[in-house]
Amino acid sequence: MEQSLPTTQIGYDPESGYKFTQDFLSTKVRPDALVFFAEMAAIGFNRLLIERSVKLPDELGLVIKEKFLGQMAFLKGAATIEPIYFELGTEAANSLMKLLKGEIEHPVQKFLPTQIRVNE
């Protein structure tokens, strides 16, 4: 029988990330990488990785969406998605104006490229 990933719900704080890591490391089958959208939970996740000597990115890939540029730079070996809030806000405002004027129809979908940086 194939073992599934833990179904622990992760909150937005370091304690939640730490608890998730305990469950995650207890599974035999794991993905090659995880993506965190909650920075504080990623800090707790990484804390237990350090305690257990898990090497990033050699043993596990970790990608974190930053709220502020450079916020996660101390997590060596992790990759971070750089924030593009100004561009996102600009695109959202422009699309809203076009929707209100009837120049485009909803739903509006846009792709905004961003940078991924590996913390060394």
Parse the chain into domains and list their residue ranges: 14-83+114-118
- The encoded tokens of residue 77 equal 């070996």
pTM: 0.73
Closest CA to 64 of 93, 49, 3: 49
pLDDT in tens, the chain (120 residues): 555 655 556 888 999 999 998 988 888 888 899 999 888 999 999 999 999 999 999 999 999 998 888 888 888 999 999 888 899 999 999 999 999 999 999 899 988 998 899 988
For residues 23 and 20, give the distance between their C-alpha atoms in angstroms, rounded to a whole number. Answer: 5
10 C-beta neighbours (distance < 10 Å), count = 20
The conformational region for residue 85 under phi > 0 = left, psi -120 to 50 = alpha, else beta, is: alpha
Is residue 83 within 8 A of residue 69, CB to CB? The reply is: yes
CATH number corresponding to 14-83+114-118: 3.40.50.2300
- The encoded tokens of residue 82 equal 């750089």
For residues 84 and 76, give the distance between their C-alpha atoms in angstroms, rounded to a whole number. Answer: 22
